[in-house]
Structure 1
Amino acid sequence: MTLSSAAAPASDADLANAALINRYWSVRQLSAALCQPLEIEDYGVQSMADVSPPKWHLAHTTWFFETFLLRPYLETYLEFHPSYGYLFNSYYESVGDRHPRPQRGLLSRPTVADIYQYRAHVDEAMAKLLSRQADHPAVAELTALGLHHEQQHQELLLTDLKYNLAINPLRPAYRQDVAVVKCACPTPLEFVGFAGGLYTIGHQTTDFAFDNEGPAHPVYLQDFALANRLVTNGDYLEFMADKGYQTAAHWLAEGWAMVQSEGWQAPLYWEQRDGQWWMFTLGGLQPVNLLEPVAHLSYFEADAYAQWRGCRLPTEAEWEVATARLPVEGNLLTTDHLHPQPASGNRQLQQLYGDTWEWTQSAYLPYPRFRPAPGAVGEYNGKFMCNQMVLRGGSCVTPPGHIRPSYRNFFPPSARWQFSGLRLAKG
């Protein structure tokens, strides 16, 4: 080949475009793959108001691309169905009315086949839009937001599905081939100290982050220490055996009211059979493994356990400072365990990413100088900054590439159906 006929090297913009297109297909295909083990009857079940049927998750993430990208930026786009905007909007007031959240499981139509056709229709149109994304500078940024949004729903799809299956008296497994890891070497709980001082937290790179992760800002911390691993099932059973759920002194007032009104006696998905504790997992009912991190705790339970141990939960600033320079790796979705795993290895701080989300004692509030984005996408995070607590670190069903040190998850303090656990702190 002569020099004149050789292909010109790809520009940085071309490489970025290609990477975004590849990422789009990878994320979209994973959502469908996560649904492959489902029976058709599983797609429409909604066992409480806070969870959504798998069919709805598949449709809502598709609606996001249709609403925020295709309608405004692809002139030739024809919507798939005129009522889908109403059915699959979640909470975007500025976009329009929406179907009531607690009634999502009552929608026998559109069918599962309809939803997969909807996804194919939108994917075809997105391929056209992304092939000429340079025409609209906002397209790449909004596509990245849409992909991280879909990754959030991939995690929600699995946690919601776990709740739906656990309600079934048959205790059916999502997958029969989920591996159960046996570990005979417990990791002693120790504390790792950190010096106080002035630190900067919040997102500080040009990579993607949600708006609630910034602006970066200084915080002053006193000396503190974090436990080297997550609290285990065995640790938590000691709290239960010491009448932790019967002792009001350990609990915040609202948490104690929840214990009494809801009859909490153990983490969600735990049940006793013939004097032994079992837990429901995505692989079905399994004996409680004492070395695995305890999961499916509310903030109230995590805080009560920490009080019982004479410790506390970390603040989100402490957690971020302690983890900022460590690799983002752990038992995340692609390890395919779909369940928290025992601590292992020699690193001082273990299980920082994956396994379970870690409750912090920090209320979910805006950082200094935070301003929501203009328009409907500004409703993504900012309007929930009330009556929620921050969790850090991701879980065993968090997709890799979605979590980072500055990531702020948030849930009401009574929420239990997520893979939520705790790490102790002192100081």
Structure 2
Amino acid sequence: MSVTKSKNIQQMFQDVRAYSEKLVAGMEIEDFILQADSFVSPTKWHLAHTTWFFEKFVLTEFMKGYEPFNEQFFYLFNSYYETVGKFHPQSMRGLISRPTVKETMAYRQYVNDKVNELLDTTEMTDHLYELIEMGLQHEQQHQELILMDIKYNLSFNPLFPALFEPKESTNVQAPELSFTSFEKGMTKIGTNGEEFAFDNETPCHDTFLNGCQIANRPVTNREYLSFIEDGGYEKAELWLSDGWQLVKKEQWEAPLYWVRNDGGWSYFTLSGLQPVDWEAPVTHVSYYEADAYARWAGKRLPTEQEWEHAMKNEEIKGNFMDHDRYQPDAHYHGARFEKAFGDVWEWTQSPYTPYPRSKPLDGALGEYNAKFMSNQIVLKGGSCVTPLSHIRLTYRNFFYPHMRWQFSGIRLADDPVES
């Protein structure tokens, strides 16, 4: 392997690790341990778990005589890797007051130093490179989770605390909704891994599409408000059965984080409570809400294959984590498919299942994606809290249909017009 490639991966390691700490620099100590529900994790745990990944899968395998920072951390900060040992229950991560935040940062520094020492003194092999690259992609996923989780954790505070300074609003009107048609035929979906990709994105394979229409932009907050005001959350005929049961049980009446005040609406953001930006994409909606909205609008959600086929020629640019906004915005650029990437993860109607001839990775990393291929739905395109360098056309995100704490939104689709 070339010296340049080896140095590049080391620089990437340093940059990604530093970026995680930049994200949390404005937090107070009290923020780091919050865990408002079992499906989210404290910020401190994310910082430690991503460090555990490099310690467990890189240092213990490649550094001779490596001495762990603390043997107990192999148990505390394993997430769900059954094949490498027992782990602390996710629902109890918020009860871990020790190690302290200070000790957690010392753990990160210790592992950073050891990985840099390893890269300075060890010949880079393909296997070592791939593990470090996987670790960096894994950490970028947790950077997004840090922001998703801390937003959810802070949302229970009636003072609506702000973690970041708000960005100036654009006050730009969203372009008129229109649709682009695609004819039926064969298309290629997925990747063969010429560049980094997770195992669930492979292999590239042929898929037949029946033809469809795809909207030029995501659904906006203003459009979603019309659904609310038309009684969308009160009409059982719009909802899948499981979704309707949730609407009644949880008393949903709007997207997560929307707050009624003075006869209008605001929403909680990572910059505190803000007026709803009506021209920006709606976000924090579940699959059930996305599907119900599509029915109300007389449309449907795209399949993941339709979405990927439609976006093949779209440039990967937009509102990502790197822009420090952390909220969908109303910037539109005249593209054929506005906001194809960034702003909001777009729900598809496709279940998260393996591609034809797909195989999990060997060893413990085979647990990374494949074992979650049940009862979840695919989302595409990235969001305002996704790192730009992390996203790609073939990326398959996945969540359970009831979840809405992620930055998820809606792009409509339809069947082709009959000729």
TM-score category (smaller protein) = over 0.9
Shift, 1:261, TM fit: 0.9
Establish whether residue 294 from structure 1 lines up as the match of residue 282 from structure 2. yes
Establish whether residue 362 from structure 1 lines up as the match of residue 357 from structure 2. no
Distance in 2 (alpha carbons) for counterparts of 1:127 and 1:245: 53
Counterparts of 1:13-412 in structure 2, within 5 Å, are 13-134=2-123, 136-175=125-164, 177-412=165-400
SS in 2 for 1:330: coil
One-letter amino acid matched to 2:82: E
Shift, 1:199, TM fit: 0.5
Deviation sequence 1:347-399 (CA, Å, 0-9, x none): 11110111000000000000001111111000000000001000000000100
1:6 aligned residue: none
Q: 1:135 to 1:356 in 2, by over 3 A?
A: closer
Kept after mapping to 1: 8 A contact 2:172/2:331 = no
SS in 2 for 1:154: helix
Distance in 1 (alpha carbons) for counterparts of 2:93 and 2:87: 11
- Percent identity among equivalent residues? 49
Kept after mapping to 2: 8 A contact 1:364/1:387 = yes
SS in 2 for 1:353: coil
Which is further off, 161-170 or 336-345? 336-345
Kept after mapping to 2: 8 A contact 1:293/1:340 = yes
Distance in 2 (alpha carbons) for counterparts of 1:395 and 1:320: 16
One-letter amino acid matched to 2:320: L
Distance in 1 (alpha carbons) for counterparts of 2:104 and 2:85: 21
Kept after mapping to 2: 8 A contact 1:133/1:139 = no
Q: 1:191 to 1:388 in 2, by over 3 A?
A: same
Kept after mapping to 1: 8 A contact 2:314/2:337 = no
Distance in 1 (alpha carbons) for counterparts of 2:286 and 2:120: 45
Shift, 1:132, TM fit: 4.1
Distance in 2 (alpha carbons) for counterparts of 1:196 and 1:73: 50
Distance in 1 (alpha carbons) for counterparts of 2:396 and 2:182: 21
SS in 2 for 1:198: strand
Distance in 2 (alpha carbons) for counterparts of 1:143 and 1:290: 41
Which is further off, 136-145 or 277-286? 136-145
Distance in 2 (alpha carbons) for counterparts of 1:153 and 1:212: 18
- Dislocated runs of 4+, deviation >6 Å: none
Structure 2 unmatched runs, 5+: none
Deviation sequence 1:238-292 (CA, Å, 0-9, x none): 1011110000000000000110111111000001011111100011001112101
Kept after mapping to 2: 8 A contact 1:356/1:395 = yes
SS in 1 for 2:79: coil
Matched residues, number: 415
Shift, 1:400, TM fit: 1.1
Structure 1 unmatched runs, 5+: 1-11
Q: 1:143 to 1:267 in 2, by over 3 A?
A: same
Which is further off, 135-144 or 406-415? 135-144
Shift, 1:184, TM fit: 3.4
Distance in 1 (alpha carbons) for counterparts of 2:160 and 2:173: 30
Distance in 2 (alpha carbons) for counterparts of 1:223 and 1:186: 26
SS in 1 for 2:83: coil
SS in 2 for 1:365: coil
Distance in 2 (alpha carbons) for counterparts of 1:231 and 1:136: 46
Distance in 2 (alpha carbons) for counterparts of 1:321 and 1:126: 39
Which is further off, 194-203 or 292-301? 194-203
Distance in 2 (alpha carbons) for counterparts of 1:132 and 1:204: 32
Kept after mapping to 2: 8 A contact 1:162/1:282 = yes
Shift, 1:196, TM fit: 1.8
Deviation sequence 1:194-237 (CA, Å, 0-9, x none): 22210010014511000000111100001211110100010001
Shift, 1:343, TM fit: 4.5
SS in 1 for 2:278: coil
Shift, 1:101, TM fit: 0.4
Aligned residues: CA RMSD: 1.0
Distance in 1 (alpha carbons) for counterparts of 2:320 and 2:348: 20
Shift, 1:133, TM fit: 4.5
One-letter amino acid matched to 2:112: D
Distance in 2 (alpha carbons) for counterparts of 1:91 and 1:127: 27
SS in 1 for 2:253: coil
Shift, 1:187, TM fit: 1.2
Kept after mapping to 2: 8 A contact 1:328/1:404 = yes
Kept after mapping to 2: 8 A contact 1:390/1:410 = yes
Distance in 2 (alpha carbons) for counterparts of 1:137 and 1:224: 42
Distance in 2 (alpha carbons) for counterparts of 1:184 and 1:402: 28
